[in-house]
Chains A and B, each alone.
Chain A
Amino acid sequence: MSSNAITIPGSQIQARPWVDELHQWVTTVDHKRLGILYMLSALLFLVIGGVEALIIRIQLMHSHNDFVSPEVFNRMFTMHGTTMIFFVAMPVLFGFANYLVPLMIGARDMAFPRLNAFSFWLSFLGGLLLYFSFLGGSGLYGAGNAPDVGWWAYAPLGARAFSPGHSSDYWTLSLLVSGFGSIGTAINIIATVLCMRCPGMKLSRMPLLAWLNLVMGGMVLIAITPLSAAQIMLLIDRYLGGHFFDTQAGGSAVLWMHFFWIFGHPEVYILVIPAFAFLSEIIPVFSRKPIFGYPVMVAATVAIGLVSTSVWAHHMFSIGMSSYANSFFAITTMAVGIPTGIKIFNWIGTMWGGRIQFKVPMLFCIGFLFQFLIAGLTGIMQAAVPFDWQLTLSYFVVAHFHYVIVGGILFAIFGAFYYWYPKMSGRMLSESLGKWHFWLFLIGFHLTFDVMHIPGLLGMPRRIYTYEPGRGWDTLNFIVTIGAFIQAIAILVFVANLIISYFKGAEAGNDPWDAWTLEWSISSPPPAYNFATVPTVASRRPLWDLKHPEDPDSRYE
């Protein structure tokens, strides 16, 4: 294993014209560049989706506000949800998987580099298609239209009778196209993890990040396929006179719900498992201990993956399923909390007895633990079906899933940015700006999403563009809006940090965190070929073995 990479003469000497440079990025099949492209496109859509969220929040600031019309509001929440799930959360996680999995398993690229580039450009094209709806949404009737059927587009609202024009078609096509991109990436990750590991890296020695992304890849294959099938069926309904979901001709609205949620719930775990992966790498390094209970962590992940494919109808407790069906989905939903709980305990077990360093990546991981705990507990409340009859479709649910996606997944993603940015750019992100980012975002997050639970308990449904005064919702919504703006400021601090540190950050060196996995053995940023000589590993922490030859992990595993 080599710790100093070979530099290619010429690659850093003469500056290329920017057109050449751009051409290199557009035609690249390098997993690291594709990873960065994924992340940049996700950041772009994060800002757009964030602006949509702010429009929603301004409108709901007080009762009977008329900042935007109902049509615009309905487009905003539809576009916000679709953007954040499909064009922010998934791409950024795929980006990290692309960048890190080959490096951590000692490979020189993904298994199918060209498929990798194809998948990225499909996903990105999907995002562009979605936003093109603002121009082409109503065909010849004028611009300014966009999908307004909600991010799950329940039938028959998506049928032509209730959604004329083309806005829903852009939604359908963009999800279909980016879905194929996701399937390509999933196949690639699975093949890479199974076939490209360096000598000595048995499955039982793989970093948890590689393991968790393997499970994520499998879940993408299971979940995205029914979604794509449903989108094709919807297109058949809309253009070829099919009647799958067309209730006016005897079609089934409930069928769409099943199709959508058998995608939709595993999707949550597709997003959260890579977030678990970041925690499983970051917490050990900043606690200076190996992960507690590695085999159990792997088993818990696989268990989450399996159980999460049988919980989807908990999104449908209010549609009038039989009491037996409701009980079944209650027990499966509660059961998924068991392996998730095991994971939280194992992360605490990792910190227990360690030497915890409160660097910014670790701060975000601690935020994750705390918020994900609450998100899990409010999830248990909704698994109690009768309680869910009150909570579902209310602001309580909105608060709950933002707790998962923002308080959990986004916090882990921020942690991952602070942790791996030095590897990707060669420069450290500023710790002081990072702390500003963390504390501002933490305060904004809690103002927004803690308070948001209460209007739900007081009877405020989601997706309403305005509400009646005198229900006790005004003050609460005002606080929520203030919190949203604080979060927006924190995001600006983060973006500023990314840009400033790229030019002025401290040199990172190969291994700024004194970490233990293979990506830290090579230069920052890594050369195109990753490893000059393919490494050989003897344990789960190859760099620990290298740094502590007197006490290597390989002796205990």
Chain B
Amino acid sequence: MPMRRTKSSKLQAVSQILLALFWSCTFVWARNPTNPSSSVNHTNIFAPASTPAKSIADLSVFVLVITGIIFIVVCGLLVYSLVKFRERRANLNREPAQVYGSTQIELAWTIIPILIVVVLYLATARVIHAIQDAPEPAGAVQVTAIGHQYWWEFRYPKLGIVTANELHIPVSDPSHPTPTFLQLLSADTDHSFWVPELGGKADLIPNHPNRMWMDPQRTGVFLGQCAQYCGTQHAKMLLRVSVDSPEDFAAWTRSQQQPATQEAGVNAGKRVFEMNACMNCHTVDGTPANGRFGPDLTHLMSRVTIAAGAAENNHENLRLWIQDPSAIKHGSLMPAMKLSDADLDAVVSYMETLR
């Protein structure tokens, strides 16, 4: 019997050391930007691309180091006492010394944690203040983001642009910062805006305006999605943030400010759009369609995806989406329009002119 106990305690110790190693690997793996999974996913919190995300990542590393040291010390004490004070043949029938406590030791392991907490708190409070109370500079881009079941509406009040699901913002040069400040609102349930490489989460709550900002320092597409459970299709409420160079952003702004193109060849489709319920929910600027329940379609074809990122924006998907939205996104609030094939083709052709 004593032999078995020894084995079991060693097993315990070995397994705990293995676990400790596993844990350190976990964080190294997540932090290592060269590993293949993090270079493609674009949603790694340890690959920050803007100032708020960067200061969060720096604070995270600081906290990880401190908690890592605590882990090693406490786990070391635990493993040591398990191995050293296990029952052996030599002490089998002898009760150990009955010790009831020690005021000095209790004081030591009360005061040291208090000091650690004070340090952690000060570091935390500094970053909270730096991110949350940052003043909005004059050149900042303003965006109002409105959460809907299950898509995003983006309005640029100063630029007069309304778009959906794909946010375009300018890259911010640290010497001439052009950060983007978002005001976050909700049209229905709670949502949360989360693009991990650009910043932490900020919830969109009805009757409770929230705000966040970001100043991306490299161009490219950043992915994210709704993080607060908002209903059936919470999973497919995806986010794309396109960080454009100043020239690209200016070009995008100019094209989005135009009213919808009016091509004579697709009048049939336009009529289908306006004779059916489509126009109750969707806006096409410059036409009678001015619904606000669904995404603005004025420049639909400038977007890479439809259905809040659930599908690529191409002819087949558009057609399928209009015919039977639940085939792409079951539970979406867009109704199946049940159009005839001719009407369907006409309306898809019309959509494809909305660049």
CB atoms of B200 and A390 under 8 A apart: yes
Interface pick from B152-160, B204-212, B250-258, B259-267: B204-212
Residue B161 interfacial (CB < 8 Å): no
Complex Cα distance, B228 from A383, in Å, reads: 19
Q: Which of B16, B23, B124 contacts A384 (CB 8 A)?
A: B124
CB atoms of B226 and A461 under 8 A apart: yes
Least distance between A376 CB and chain B CB atoms (Å): 9
Q: Which of A254, A290, A330, A381 contacts B205 (CB 8 A)?
A: A254
Q: Which residues of B contact A232 (CB under 8 A)?
A: none
Complex Cα distance, B118 from A335, in Å, reads: 9
Q: Which residues of B contact A150 (CB under 8 A)?
A: 229
CB atoms of B208 and A253 under 8 A apart: yes
CB atoms of B132 and A341 under 8 A apart: no
Count of chain B residues near A, Cβ 8 A: 106
Question: What 0/1 readout, one digit per residue, does chain B (19-37) give for beta carbons within 8 Å of chain A?
Answer: 1001100110110000011
Question: What 0/1 readout, one digit per residue, does chain A (334-345) give for beta carbons within 8 Å of chain B?
Answer: 110110011011
Residue A436 interfacial (CB < 8 Å): no
Residue B307 interfacial (CB < 8 Å): no
Q: Which of A319, A337, A348, A556 contacts B77 (CB 8 A)?
A: A348
Q: Which residues of B contact A381 (CB under 8 A)?
A: 60, 63-64, 67
CB atoms of B229 and A154 under 8 A apart: yes
Interface pick from A2-10, A185-193, A452-460: A452-460
Interface residues of A in 52-100 (CB under 8 A from B): 69-71, 74
Interface residues of A in 247-303 (CB under 8 A from B): 247-248, 250-254, 287-290, 292-296
Q: Which residues of A contact B235 (CB under 8 A)?
A: 70, 463-467
Interface pick from A23-31, A216-224, A354-362, A521-529: A354-362
Q: Which of A154, A351, A458 contacts B82 (CB 8 A)?
A: A351
Q: Which residues of A contact B199 (CB under 8 A)?
A: 389
Residue B275 interfacial (CB < 8 Å): no
Known A154-B229, A386-B131, A472-B38; judge A319-B22 contact (CB<8 A): no
Interface residues of A in 204-257 (CB under 8 A from B): 247-248, 250-254
Question: What 0/1 readout, one digit per residue, does chain B (193-237) give for beta carbons within 8 Å of chain A?
Answer: 010100111110111111100000000000111111111111110
Interface pick from A126-134, A135-143, A365-373, A496-504: A365-373
Known A296-B101, A318-B202, A352-B81; judge A289-B113 contact (CB<8 A): no
CB atoms of A69 and B330 under 8 A apart: yes
CB atoms of A389 and B190 under 8 A apart: no
CB atoms of A387 and B43 under 8 A apart: no
Complex Cα distance, B199 from A334, in Å, reads: 23
Q: Which residues of A contact B3 (CB under 8 A)?
A: none
Complex Cα distance, B229 from A322, in Å, reads: 23
Complex Cα distance, B226 from A354, in Å, reads: 52
Residue A349 interfacial (CB < 8 Å): yes
Least distance between B293 CB and chain A CB atoms (Å): 14
CB atoms of A464 and B210 under 8 A apart: no
Q: Which residues of A contact B202 (CB under 8 A)?
A: 318, 320, 389
Residue A196 interfacial (CB < 8 Å): no
Least distance between A124 CB and chain B CB atoms (Å): 29
Least distance between B355 CB and chain A CB atoms (Å): 26
Q: Which residues of A contact B102 (CB under 8 A)?
A: 292-293, 349
CB atoms of A450 and B22 under 8 A apart: yes
Interface residues of A in 370-396 (CB under 8 A from B): 370, 373-374, 377-378, 380-381, 383-394
Q: Which residues of B contact A383 (CB under 8 A)?
A: 120, 124
Question: What 0/1 readout, one digit per residue, does chain B (95-126) give for beta carbons within 8 Å of chain A?
Answer: 11111111001100110011001001101110
Known A330-B125, A386-B55; judge A374-B23 contact (CB<8 A): yes
Known A70-B235, A384-B120, A463-B229; judge A320-B211 contact (CB<8 A): yes
Question: What 0/1 readout, one digit per residue, does chain A (304-320) give for beta carbons within 8 Å of chain B?
Answer: 00000000000000111
Residue A327 interfacial (CB < 8 Å): yes
Residue B331 interfacial (CB < 8 Å): yes
Interface pick from B4-12, B170-178, B334-342, B346-354: B4-12
CB atoms of A320 and B227 under 8 A apart: no
Q: Which of A157, A319, A363, A393 contacts B210 (CB 8 A)?
A: A319
Residue A323 interfacial (CB < 8 Å): yes
Complex Cα distance, B206 from A247, in Å, reads: 6
CB atoms of A327 and B125 under 8 A apart: yes
CB atoms of B188 and A377 under 8 A apart: no
Q: Which residues of B contact A357 (CB under 8 A)?
A: 5, 87
Complex Cα distance, B42 from A473, in Å, reads: 12
Complex Cα distance, B120 from A103, in Å, reads: 44
Residue A162 interfacial (CB < 8 Å): yes
CB atoms of A355 and B87 under 8 A apart: yes
CB atoms of A353 and B231 under 8 A apart: no
CB atoms of B96 and A353 under 8 A apart: yes
Complex Cα distance, B16 from A373, in Å, reads: 12
Q: Which of B71, B87, B124, B228 contacts A386 (CB 8 A)?
A: B124
Q: Which residues of A contact B208 (CB under 8 A)?
A: 252-254, 319-320
CB atoms of B74 and A331 under 8 A apart: no
Least distance between A548 CB and chain B CB atoms (Å): 8
Q: Which residues of B contact A369 (CB under 8 A)?
A: 78
Q: Which residues of A contact B23 (CB under 8 A)?
A: 374, 450
Q: Which of A253, A330, A377, A556 contacts B71 (CB 8 A)?
A: A377
Complex Cα distance, B30 from A74, in Å, reads: 28
Known A358-B8, A464-B234; judge A389-B71 contact (CB<8 A): no
Q: Which residues of B contact A154 (CB under 8 A)?
A: 189-190, 228-229
Q: Which residues of B contact A549 (CB under 8 A)?
A: none
CB-based nearest A residue for B79: A370
Known A294-B100, A352-B81; judge A341-B109 contact (CB<8 A): yes
CB atoms of A458 and B117 under 8 A apart: no
Q: Which residues of B contact A391 (CB under 8 A)?
A: 45
Complex Cα distance, B95 from A287, in Å, reads: 9
Q: Which residues of A contact B110 (CB under 8 A)?
A: 338, 342
Least distance between A512 CB and chain B CB atoms (Å): 16
CB atoms of B85 and A356 under 8 A apart: yes
CB atoms of B128 and A472 under 8 A apart: no
Complex Cα distance, B229 from A394, in Å, reads: 11
Question: What 0/1 readout, one digit per residue, does chain B (56-85) give for beta carbons within 8 Å of chain A?
Answer: 100110011001001100110110011001
Least distance between B277 CB and chain A CB atoms (Å): 20
Least distance between B185 CB and chain A CB atoms (Å): 11
Complex Cα distance, B15 from A157, in Å, reads: 44
CB-based nearest B residue for A382: B63
Complex Cα distance, B189 from A295, in Å, reads: 48
Q: Which residues of A contact B298 (CB under 8 A)?
A: none
Residue B44 interfacial (CB < 8 Å): yes
CB-based nearest B residue for A292: B101
CB atoms of A326 and B229 under 8 A apart: no
Q: Which of A322, A327, A442, A458 contacts B37 (CB 8 A)?
A: A458
Residue A202 interfacial (CB < 8 Å): no
CB atoms of B201 and A458 under 8 A apart: no
Q: Which residues of A contact B209 (CB under 8 A)?
A: 320
10 other A-B residue contacts (CB within 8 Å) besides A342-B109, A381-B60, A458-B44: A150-B229, A156-B206, A337-B113, A342-B110, A384-B59, A450-B19, A462-B227, A464-B235, A471-B223, A472-B37
7 A-B pairs, CB-CB below 8 angstroms? A318-B228, A320-B209, A326-B132, A348-B78, A387-B63, A393-B192, A458-B37
B binding-site residues for A, Cβ under 8 Å: 5, 8-9, 12, 15-16, 19, 22-23, 26-27, 29-30, 36-38, 40-46, 52, 55-56, 59-60, 63-64, 67, 70-71, 74-75, 77-78, 81-82, 85-87, 91, 94-102, 105-106, 109-110, 113-114, 117, 120-121, 123-125, 127-129, 131-133, 184, 188-190, 192, 194, 196, 199-203, 205-211, 223-236, 238, 330-331
Nearest 9 pairs of A and B residues by beta carbon? A389-B200, A459-B43, A472-B37, A320-B210, A464-B235, A247-B206, A293-B101, A377-B67, A471-B41
